[in-house]
Amino acid sequence: MAKIKPRVKVPRKAEVGDVVTIKTLISHPMESGQRKDRKTGEVIPRKIINHFKASFEGEVVFDASIEPAVSANPYFSFDMTVPKAGTVTFEWIDDDGSVYTAEKKIAIG
Amino acid sequence: MDFSRRTFCQLGVGAAALTLAPSLPALASTDPVQDAILAFTGGAMPGEGDIELTTPEIAENGNTVPVEVSADGAATIMLLAAGNPNPGVATFTFGKLAPYRSAATRIRLAQTQDVIAVAKLESGAFTMVQRTVKVTIGGCGG
Amino acid sequence: MKKLVLLIASSTIAGFALAGPGPDDNTLVIEGETLISEVKTTGDHPLDTIYSGWRFRKPETQALETDDFENPAMVAVDYAHDLWETPAGASNQSCANCHGGVEEAMAGLRANMPLWNEAAGKPWSLEHWINWSIQEHQGADPWKWESPEMLAMTALIGLQSRGEPMTVQTDGPMAAWIERGKDLYYTRVGQLDMSCNQCHEDNYGQMIRADHLSQGNINGFPTYRFKWSGLGSLHRRFSGCMKNIRATPYKRGSDEFVALEAYLASRGAGLSIETPAVRN
């Protein structure tokens, strides 16, 4: 998949105090830096998502520093307590400095 | 390619011993897995218990192995793959809004090896668990 | 680590296949819907029961297909939704402008592939139909067979047939193409001098080295394969198999692969479409 696209699953609604499971994925080849170009024999340079962070209303819930041993199209799933209505923001950082983001709102009710 | 099997043995609370495979000289500090663990713990030996690591017994494909790790009260959990070219996999840090200090992801394993999880608990203690995952090399169909 | 040598040339592979676990008994339920992964055949089908490739995979792999978030192919489906709405070509029209919503417009279409095209005088794979519409109606450049756009769009369109039984036309002009596909299926080729049936009919359920052989049904394509770390087309899969037996593969979209696709669609008739499936 050539495009780097995030995908997140967050419940749209919850009660205060509920624990929700949040799932995230971003399409990314996670080039490990271990592979060699078949024709030239040169090492294909590393280019991965090296950091992922999920925050609720600015407060970090889950943070992952990532090595090339994480699979292509990196997937992370974790739980969060919902303290109130608010927005979950997600951020992925690429070796090349690009930052990819996504956000989802959780309503109470 | 050399593949040495490392075993970590902890003996009782407060006392732990790390044993390297006999083929490595005892004084050498060249074990990257041990180095990674000690760097994480600041030199302390991790205990065991209160940490769970879920991995398949046999991976369908070494490039996508689902794993889940969880440790009550963990501030940070580090995942290592002892038989990969580099042992580091990922380090998870949990905020106050994370009730179950657990995370699931998919990892690459280059060969049959131990996956190791080390947790730093909020109490300041460290705990560790490891599981062997068999990785078969196959793959019909280009 | 030794490079894997998949097979040693031999007139039969029976001696090299170790006893394997066979297809399991699991029921395929995707997002609450039960799919048919096993069909008792009738007539002179060479197999008594046909199974989806899903039934040959490990539980962790199977689980990834049962949930539309866990399924790593779905991010490509998202991309295709965007493409569906994007104007393209001289016409500056999007797919949606003519077709409306993809769910209604493309419902059931992939289940009938490859579909006879009267004007062309041959059956067309889904990729052929998509590219024809792109060029004819949008006035845009066609997509390469294995491009991210084509894989995403065939996955999105295929998804609108998920749960439908695979049903290809077998009579009329399709009969000759299916016969040709059957010939290809049973003809030995390549340096290893092998044919599809030797693995997928005679030895399905066995282990070939580390791989668990399926019957080679096509109801899940395009498929997310771990080996590819991404989606891949059916014709890519055919091509890979041919390379494994050291044969020169036919081209994607070739008459040979379309004929083979038609035969396999008839051979797996009744299995639910699982597109986009998750496999090894």
ipTM of model = 0.95
- Going by pLDDT thresholds of 50, 70 and 90, the confidence category of residue B100 is confident
pLDDT value at residue A83: 96
Return the HEC string of chain B: CCCCCCEEECCCCCCCEEECCCCCCCCCCCCHHHHHHHHHHCCCCCEECCCEEECCCEECCCCCEEEEEECCCEEEEEEEECCCCCCEEEEEEECCCCCCCEEEEEECCCCCEEEEEEEEECCCCEEEEEEEEEECCCCCCC
Residues of C in contact with A72 (CB under 8 A): 229-230
Run of H or E residues at C181: helix C174-186
pLDDT value at residue C22: 77
- Going by pLDDT thresholds of 50, 70 and 90, the confidence category of residue B141 is low
C-alpha–C-alpha distance, residues A97 and C97, integer Å:
37
C95 catalytic, yes or no? no
- Going by pLDDT thresholds of 50, 70 and 90, the confidence category of residue C5 is very low
- Going by pLDDT thresholds of 50, 70 and 90, the confidence category of residue C209 is confident
Cis peptide before A45 (omega within 30 of 0): no
Examine the pLDDT at B18 and tell me if it is beyond 60.
no
Examine the pLDDT at B24 and tell me if it is beyond 70.
no
Q: Do B139 and C4 touch (CB under 8 A)?
A: yes
Taking the CA of residue C65 and the nearest CA in chain A, the distance in Å comes to 15
C-alpha–C-alpha distance, residues A102 and A54, integer Å:
9
Identify residue B119 by its one-letter amino acid code. A
Nearest CA in chain B to A74: B106
pLDDT value at residue B29: 56
C-alpha–C-alpha distance, residues C67 and C20, integer Å:
27
Residues of B in contact with C237 (CB under 8 A): 141-142
Residues of C in contact with A69 (CB under 8 A): none
**Test the C interface: residue of B54, B61, B135, B137 with most C CBs within 10 Å:** B61
- Going by pLDDT thresholds of 50, 70 and 90, the confidence category of residue B17 is very low
- Going by pLDDT thresholds of 50, 70 and 90, the confidence category of residue B140 is confident
Q: Are C228 and C237 in contact (CB under 8 A)?
A: no
pLDDT value at residue B136: 84
**Test the B interface: residue of C227, C237, C278 with most B CBs within 10 Å:** C227
Q: β-pairing, C38-40 with B65-70?
A: unpaired
C-alpha–C-alpha distance, residues B50 and C22, integer Å:
38
Cis peptide before C276 (omega within 30 of 0): yes
pLDDT digits (tens, 9 = 90+) for B48-70: 999 999 999 999 999 999 999 99
pLDDT (mean) for A58-71: 97
Token pair 């991790």: residue:
B46
Residues of A in contact with C78 (CB under 8 A): 5, 7
Taking the CA of residue C146 and the nearest CA in chain B, the distance in Å comes to 13
Three-state SS at A78: strand
CA distances to A109, C10, C109 from C156, rounded to whole Å, are 33, 41, 11
Model pTM score: 0.88
pLDDT digits (tens, 9 = 90+) for C54-96: 999 999 999 999 999 999 999 999 999 999 999 999 999 999 9
Q: Do C1 and B64 touch (CB under 8 A)?
A: no
C-alpha–C-alpha distance, residues A105 and A94, integer Å:
25
C-alpha–C-alpha distance, residues B18 and C163, integer Å:
54
Nearest CA in chain A to C76: A1
Q: Are C178 and C268 in contact (CB under 8 A)?
A: no
Q: Do B61 and C226 touch (CB under 8 A)?
A: yes
Q: Do B90 and A66 touch (CB under 8 A)?
A: yes
C-alpha–C-alpha distance, residues B109 and B86, integer Å:
10
pLDDT (mean) for A9-15: 96
pLDDT value at residue B105: 98
C-alpha–C-alpha distance, residues B67 and C240, integer Å:
29
Q: Do A1 and C79 touch (CB under 8 A)?
A: yes
C-alpha–C-alpha distance, residues B102 and B125, integer Å:
17
Q: Which chains touch C (3 or more CB pairs under 8 A)?
A: A, B
Examine the pLDDT at A41 and tell me if it is beyond 70.
yes
Q: Do C1 and B1 touch (CB under 8 A)?
A: yes
